[in-house]
């Protein structure tokens, strides 16, 4: 199936039939364009800003000009965000890198096709579209991960929908969560070949360094999503006749398993798959945002249905109670 079917399922609780899918895809397409004021804001963001900060700002600014006012707005806002997020990222990207103001809409049927069309300025081939679509599906939802939790904490205060998504984007940014796909790419690129990677990773492990893209808080033996994206990374490597990054990735995977019994998570082979699709490394985590917005939205809606303030208590381990000392005596 395609990403839009998964997004529809997450938000509505059922897979769409053909007619419903067609209507949903058309709705998403209608929501692709950016308001002029948002384009102006994006143009102010410097070239050296991280694209995750661009995503955070874009969602936050949209919350000012298209605020959530009524109870039922959350469905429309979700469609709006899923529609406009690719353009928010890529409008800024082309503007700061090439001084070009791109058209934010396209004839593309799917989010995957639309994203690659805006990025590369031409319709992607079926193979690359499909990889992108699969990747969006894999990233769409993953129960109570850190960014989803952040979104739920935010809306549990009865704050607005956009604030929930902004909190989630800020939380996803870090390399222990979504940022791991970018960190994994930076790691893979350091090595010249598989042998170099094997010795390099052994050295890093001896120095007790963390290897990004490995391990998981919930999975113990394997990340089933990785199995899927790994196949796609291989397909693109074969298509391009360039297996260097794939071979290096496999060498790292082998050492990590032999030495630490650690397995690659979804972020690891997503890195080479995206790279093969001609996507710059700093755009990797924003793609995660484009997809996970569907999952975050579903969680926000669920939280609101049966809301209670999320306020954990802390186990205090500091000093005993002390007397207040006036500033002149300190």
Residues lying near ligand COA in the complex (CB under 6 A) are found at: 176-177, 180, 210-217, 260, 262, 265, 267
| 251, burial (CB in 10 Å: exposed 0-12, middle 13-18, buried 19+) | buried
CB of 167 to ligand COA, least distance (A): 19
Residue 258 bears catalytic tag:
no
The least CB distance from residue 134 to ligand COA, in Å, is 17
> In the complex with ligand COA, which residue's Cβ is closer, 113 or 223?
223
216 flagged as catalytic:
yes
DSSP code, position 207: T
CB of 36 vs ligand COA, minimal distance in Å: 37
Give SS3 for 214. strand
Catalytic residue among 216, 223, 275, 299: 216
Q: Cβ closer to ligand COA: 55 or 180?
A: 180
Nearest to 194 by CA among 262, 267, 280, 253: 253
Torsion of CA 187, 191, 195, 200, to 10 degrees: -50
| Both tokens assigned to 169 | 């984007």
Rounded distance between C-alpha atoms, residue 217 and residue 147, angstroms: 14
| Interatomic CA distance for residues 24 and 28, integer angstroms | 6
CB of 270 vs ligand COA, minimal distance in Å? 10
DSSP three-state, residue 243: coil
- Our CB check for ligand COA shows the closer of 43 and 259 to be 259
Nearest distance in Å: CB 180, ligand COA: 3
Read off φ and ψ for residue 19, nearest 5 degrees. Answer: -65, -45
Q: Which of 133, 267, 275, 299 is catalytic?
A: 267
Catalytic residue among 53, 120, 177, 247: 177
Tokens for 270, please give them. 């997503």
Helical H segments across the chain, by residue range: 3-12, 18-30, 36-44, 51-65, 73-98, 111-120, 126-139, 146-155, 161-172, 180-190, 194-206, 224-240, 244-260, 266-276, 284-305
Nearer to ligand COA, 184 or 236 (CB): 184
- Give catalytic status of residue 275 as yes or no: no
> Considering beta carbons, is residue 110 or 270 the nearer one to ligand COA?
270
With CB atoms as reference, the residue minimizing the distance to ligand COA is: 215
* Active site residue ranges: 177, 216, 267
């Amino acid at each position: 199936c395609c990403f839009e079917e998964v997004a529809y399922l997450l938000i509505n609780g059922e897979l769409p039939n053909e007619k419903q899918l067609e209507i949903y895809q058309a709705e998403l397409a209608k929501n692709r364009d950016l308001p002029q004021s948002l384009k102006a804001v994006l143009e102010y963001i410097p070239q050296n800003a991280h694209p995750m900060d661009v995503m955070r700002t874009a969602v936050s600014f949209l919350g000012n000009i298209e605020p959530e006012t009524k109870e039922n707005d959350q469905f429309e806002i979700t469609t709006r965000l899923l529609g406009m997020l690719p353009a928010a990222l890529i409008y800024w990207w082309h503007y700061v890198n090439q001084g070009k103001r791109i058209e934010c809409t396209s004839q593309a049927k799917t989010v995957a096709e639309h994203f690659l069309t805006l990025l590369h300025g031409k319709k992607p081939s079926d193979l690359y579209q499909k990889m992108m679509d699969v990747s969006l599906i894999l990233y769409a939802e993953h129960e109570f991960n850190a960014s989803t939790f952040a979104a739920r904490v935010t809306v549990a205060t009865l704050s607005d929908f956009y604030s929930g998504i902004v909190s989630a984007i800020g939380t996803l940014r870090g390399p222990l969560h979504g940022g791991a796909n970018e960190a994994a790419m930076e790691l893979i690129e350091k090595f010249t070949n598989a042998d170099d990677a094997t010795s390099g990773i052994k050295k890093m492990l001896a120095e007790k360094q963390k290897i990004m893209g490995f391990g998981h808080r919930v999975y113990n033996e394997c990340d089933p999503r990785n199995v899927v994206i790994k196949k796609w990374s291989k397909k693109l490597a074969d298509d391009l006749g360039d297996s260097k990054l794939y071979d290096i990735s496999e060498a790292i995977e082998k050492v990590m398993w032999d030495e630490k019994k650690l397995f690659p998570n979804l972020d690891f082979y997503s890195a080479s798959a995206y790279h093969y699709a001609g996507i710059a490394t700093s755009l990797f985590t924003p793609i995660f945002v484009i997809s996970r917005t569907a999952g975050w939205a579903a969680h926000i809606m669920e939280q609101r249905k049966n809301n209670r303030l999320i306020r954990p208590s802390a186990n205090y381990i500091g000093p005993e109670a002390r007397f207040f000392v006036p500033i002149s005596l300190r």
